[in-house]
Structures are given as C-alpha cells and as structure tokens.
Amino acid sequence: MWRDEGVEDEETLSAFLEASKTREGRAALSDALADTLHLLPASPAPLLLLRLRLLRNLLAGDALNQGTFVLLSGPAAVVSAALSLPALSPDLARAALQALGNAALGGDRHREAVWDALFPGALREFARVRDAGVLDPLCMVLDTCCSGDGGRGRVEELCHEDLGLPVLVELVATASRLGHKEEWLEWLLFKICVEEEKFEALFAALDSTDGGESGNGFNANHAFLMGTLSKCLTERPEEVSVSNSFALHVFNIQKHAAETLDFTCRGSSELPTGLPGIDVIGYSLVLLKDICAWEPSSSETEAPVDSLLQAGLVKRLLKYLGELEPPSTIRKAMAKEQGDQQPAFATAKVCPYNGYRRDLVAVIANCLHGRKQVQDEVRQLNGIMLLLQQCVIDEGNAYLREWGLLAVKYLLEENEENQKEVSELQMQEPILTPEVAELGLRVEIDKKTGHPKLVNSS
C-alpha cells in the first residue's frame, strides 16, 4: 500500500498511470484497484486526481476490474471523494466521470451502481461545472445509464420535475453557454426529448433559467435545445423515431414564436442569429421540415406529419407566407413598374432571418409530397398563386427557387384540378406573375410529365 503523500507516491502513481494505458498493464495492476479506492478519501487534490485517472484507465474495457469496482462500492467512493473538496475543479470532475463512465459500460448491474451514486445531487453538482471537458463525459455517463435494462426507469427519474429536470436544465445551460456540440450531449437530449417524449417538460423547465430572455418568452437555452434537436434529426433521420406528441409540441412552439415575434426588422444572418426568439422560430421550422419528410419504419405507425396536418399546419404556414413581403425579385419588378408610387407591400412583414421564407416553403413542399388532400387544401385556400410566386431567386433566402419549384411540382402532381387552375391562370394572365415576367419566363405544364416548369417567354 502506498503512503498518502510525498514525491514517491506521485512517482509511483505516474508510473502506474502510464502502465495502465495498455490491456496488459491493466491486467497486471488489477490488485492496485482496491488500494486506490481505499486511499481516495484521504487523498489531497494532486494525488486524488492521479488516483481517479488511474481508476479511469483500470476500468477501461476490463470486465474483472469493472466487477471489482462495483463490488467494493467504487462508484460511491469516487463521487464522495470528488465532491469532498471545497471546490470541484474541472480536471477532478472529468477524471471522476470518465471512471464512472467506463465502469457503467460493464453491464446493467454496473449502470445501476453508478446511477445510485450519482442521482440526483451529485449529477447536478457535476452539471454545474461550466467546462466542456466535464460536460462530455457527464453526458456519456447519462447516456450509458439510460440504456439497457432499467434505462427507461432512469430516464423517468431524470425527467422528474423536482429531482431530474434540474440536472437536465443545468446541462443545457452549461452547453448553451459553452457552445458545446459534442455527440454525447446531442443524442442524450434527442433520446430524452424525442424518443422518450419529455420535450415539453424540459422546454418548460428552461423558462426559469438565466438564458437572456428576448421578451417573447424564449431564452438562449430554449434556442440551444431546439438547434440541437434540429441538428440530430437533419443529420441522421434514419436513426431516429419521431412521435406525434413531439411534432405537435414543436408546432405549438412555432405558433407561439410567430405570434410574439417582431416581423418589422429584416434579418441579415442565417441561423443561429444569437437572438433567442428568432432562433426558436427558425429551428422550429427546420424541425417541422424534417418531421414532415420523416417516414416511420413500420406501416402500422402513423407518420407525425398526419397529426400536424390535422392540426392545421399547412393553413397556418400559407398564412405566414402570404403575410410576407414578396421575394426580392418581385419587389424590384413592382418598384420599377410603380415608379414614384408607394409600393403595396411597404407595410408587409419581412423575413426575421435569412432563410425564413425558404423554410416556410420547404415545410409546405414536404407536406404536399404524395398527399392529394394537401394539394386540394392549398387550392381551396387560394395558395396556388402564392406558391408559384416562390419559384424565384430571393435575396436572403438561398435555394428558395428550388424549394418553390419542388413545392409546385408536388402541388400539381397527378392532380387535374390544380393543373386546370394553373392553366386557367395562364389563360387569364399569360405570364402569370410579375416576377416571372421580369425574368422573361412563364410557367408551363409539361404535357408528358404533368409537372410545372419555367420556360422562356420569348
């Protein structure tokens, strides 16, 4: 057994730490695990850090050491030692969490022991350490503990209003402040909010955090959470499952944001803008776009887009789109035509961020795909002309023209009523819309495919 302090101990620990980096070294040092645990409570900070790092290495993929660690109440000893110092340093917190994370990978019994040692008080203390090097292993521990047998129960505990939610709130607040974007955190939040359907509870709990509220009820932590979930769904749609309740909660947030946001100030940047209310409405639209394109793996599962359509998604988005000033191409054409007269769109709403109009059109396009009832709804809401007007280039809305053409393609696909209305519009107004006229283009229906296309009018 080693002495508690002195140069010899540091030298010995450093040597053991180096040896423990290999599988053979960990096996040879298995007897040192018990001694290390025994000495944790009396270790001064420098030695404690080395001993926690040694434990971390000894527990990395070594089933024997992982079992011994749990048998000797190692999780509780590590947590107690790390939190016994007057101030929890990031280095100590990180080493302790890495050791616990390696132990939790040993199996369900190991995860249970680690969880019992951490939840709830210690978890919250670790989450309060505003350091990216601590946040990542903490999320790894939580993600590991919330999987396997008993994982669902621990998720429920983590979402408990009084016990677990404060931990998640601290996690989001720390990550938002640090701009942390590691996968452990992203997938932990996605699992809790989307797969376990705890999004509404966590989003509401963030109301009380100090995240720089923007005046419409949203703060930087709300925006961070929405952006994180959006990133996960956009990058790996095939790996996730989206529930109806999550989709509807996102829609409700989008509606609230749209009702409270100031649409008189034109945005000059893409997401994230750094303005919580604008980022929330933007990320909600990006989430809705991907939700409406997401298809469940089982034909027996209802696609969340169906619930959104029943809740009036398309009608509301067409309303938002119709309230906006026309795209820049149309505005320039109208200003040139009207000369000194005040343009009719002078009091219309403007895009609060670059891409807002495109995102509205993208959600509508995904709703239209393969759904005759949505095609008919757009026609009945007099939305055909509005969508045709989006088939142009617009400053501040990259790829609007592409999304507009895709939306119109889906709008007219195998729908004779909609095709007839477009044809009649062309008979009444050969060029159809001012922006198309200025570009020297017109909309035609391809007789072979039935799809709309822009062609030269000359």
DSSP-derived secondary structure for 397-437: -TTHHHHHHHHHHHHHTT-HHHHHHHHHHHHHSTT-SHHHH
Statement to judge: residues 357 and 413 lie in one domain: yes
What CATH number corresponds to the domain at position 264?
Answer: 1.25.10.10
Cα(394)–Cα(401) distance, integer angstroms? 8
For the chain, the domain total comes to 2
Is there a domain that residue 349 lies in? yes
SS3 443: strand
Residues 387, 274 share a domain: yes
Domain check: are 331 and 267 in the same one? Answer: yes
Residue by residue, pLDDT tens for the chain (458 residues) are: 444 444 448 888 999 999 999 999 998 898 899 999 999 998 999 999 999 999 999 999 999 999 999 999 999 999 999 999 888 999 999 999 999 999 999 999 999 999 999 999 999 999 999 998 999 999 999 989 988 888 889 988 988 888 999 999 999 999 999 888 778 888 889 988 988 888 999 999 998 766 555 557 899 999 999 999 999 999 888 788 888 999 999 999 999 999 999 899 999 999 999 999 999 999 999 999 999 998 877 665 678 999 999 999 999 999 999 999 989 887 777 677 666 555 555 668 999 999 999 999 999 999 999 999 999 999 999 999 899 989 889 999 999 999 999 999 999 999 999 988 887 765 444 334 554 554 454 555 556 654 445 455 55
**Are 321 and 417 within one domain?**
yes
Domain that holds residue 445: 431-457
Kindly state whether residues 445 and 325 are assigned to the same domain.
no
**Scanning the structure block, which residue is given the tokens 């000194």?**
340
Q: Tell whether 450 is covered by a domain.
A: yes
Residue the block writes with tokens 């925006």:
223
> Residue 444 domain-assigned?
yes
Same domain, 310 and 452: no
Residues 338 and 383 in one domain: yes
194 half-sphere exposure, CB direction, 13 A CA radius: 24
pLDDT at 332: 79
Residue 170 lies in a domain: no
Read off the amino acid at residue 305: V
Residues 361 and 410 in one domain: yes
Asked whether residue 10 is domain-assigned, the answer is no
User: How far is residue 114's CA from residue 237's CA, in Å, rounded to a whole number?
Assistant: 31
Same domain, 330 and 397: yes
What CA dihedral angle connects 85, 89, 90 and 96, to 10 degrees? -20
Residue 14 resides in a domain: no
Task: Enter the pTM of the model.
Answer: 0.84
- pLDDT score recorded for residue 4: 46
Asked if 417 and 435 sit in the same domain, the reply is no
Instruction: Tell me, yes or no, whether 344 and 437 share the same domain.
Output: no
pLDDT score, position 259: 93
Do residues 249 and 368 both lie within one domain? yes
Q: Is position 41 within any domain?
A: no
The DSSP code sequence of 171-234 is HHHHHHHHT---HHHHHHHHIIIIIS--HHHHHHHGGGS-S---SSS--HHHHHHHHHHHHHHH
Q: Which among 31, 18, 110 is positioned nearest to 57, based on CA atoms? A: 18
Could you give the CA distance from residue 112 to residue 147 in angstroms, rounded to a whole number? Answer: 11
Q: What is the pLDDT of residue 330?
A: 78
Confirm whether 154 is domain-assigned. Answer: no
Q: Cα 4–8–10 angle (5° rounding)?
A: 70
Structure tokens at 225: 């959470």
Residue 49 has which token pair?
A: 């850090």
